[in-house]
Amino acid sequence: MKLRRRQFLNLAAGAATLPVTSRFVRAENYPTRPVHLIVGFFAGGLTDILSRILAEWLLGHFGQQFIVENQAGAGTNIATERVVRAPPDGYMLLMATSSNAINATLYDHLNFDFLRDTAPVASVARTPLVMTVNPSFPARTVPEFVAYATAHPGEINIATSGKGSTVHLAGELFMSMTGVKLTVVHFRESYLPDMLAGRVQVVISPIPTIIEQIRAGKLQAVAVTGGARSPALPDIPTIGEFVPGYEAIVWNGMVAPRNTPVGIIDRLNDAIGASLADAKVKTQFATVGSVPKSMAPAEFGDFVAADTEKWRKVIQAANIKVG
């Protein structure tokens, strides 16, 4: 028996709403089981610490565990690929970092495209770095450093935590914007022993890595790299106060596999935004020099795309290659 046209259209319209309704119900009930939050670094580092602070808050909010899993290797690429290949159901997420923006250009043969294959969920934090020198070094300010480095091209050693790291690229950006020439020294292990011994004279380091040595007077902070002064080092100026436009930060934010339902993403974004407004979370972030930064998913996606383009230019200008 043939259906009348109006009956067919009514049935088709009703059927079309079923997947939407089903997805909506799933999003409203999310999460119904533990969520895995993947971190591309070893335990104890900045991204791991922020992830565990957030996971504890989200457990209290949702009543479901957010299990932090550390999967270090290949500059976060192993962890990222794992999340990219996961089902887009909100139960496996990545705590992304500025390394993801850098790696998009740094590595020629990735098995994924970070911007294409992930869905931005929420911005979490910004952490500036700090330009630091050995106390025996004759410069104490950015202008003094630039003047000394200009007079002694190639004689100053700048430490990095590895080729293509944020520490490395922050130094390359400084050199490109000031015109100074420094000798780059890459470290597989910690650069702190060589900094303390004066074998390398300067580093642009994440604040948590070096702040205890600064507080103890063993190293001298020159300037921080954020757009504003850091609450962790409130008396230290920014590099941008002397080199207009300079900024280099470590950012953290949560992403999901592409095609994760919008309802789940919005639910997570709302919860993370609430966590970042929590006084306890703000205090916990401050202990590692981080500032909470909330963004809507689309805004966070635009930010990551812009940061990827920024570091692409630096990497290509410095002709940095890995592997």
Picking from 241, 184, 228, 232, the residue whose alpha carbon sits closest to that of residue 210 is 232
- pLDDT, average across residues 91-113: 96
Output 9 or 188, whichever has higher pLDDT. 188
As a whole number, the mean pLDDT across the chain is 92
Q: How far is CA 213 from CA 8, 117, 132, 208, 228, in A?
A: 74, 40, 10, 10, 22
Fold of domain 11-127+250-318: D-Maltodextrin-Binding Protein; domain 2 (3.40.190)
Whether 275 contacts 50, CB under 8 Å: no
Mark residue 282 as left, alpha or beta (left: phi above 0; alpha: psi -120 to 50; beta: remaining). alpha
- Quickly state the pLDDT bin for 208 (edges 50, 70, 90): confident
Burial 225-239 (b: 16+ CB within 10 A, else e): bbeebbebbeebebb
Biggest CA pair distance of the chain: 93
Q: Output the DSSP codes for 201-221.
A: -EEEEEHHHHHHHHHTTSSEE
Q: Any idea which fold 128-241 has?
A: D-Maltodextrin-Binding Protein; domain 2 (3.40.190)
Query: Do the domains spanning 11-127+250-318 and 128-241 agree at the CATH topology level?
Result: yes
- Over residues 254-264, the pLDDT tens digits come to 999 999 999 99
* Residues 290/59, Cβ–Cβ less than 8 Å: no
pLDDT digits (tens, 9 = 90+) for 37-47: 999 999 998 99
Q: What is the pLDDT of residues 3-12, one digit of tens each?
A: 444 443 444 4
Q: Kindly list the domain boundaries of the chain, sorted by start residue.
A: 11-127+250-318, 128-241
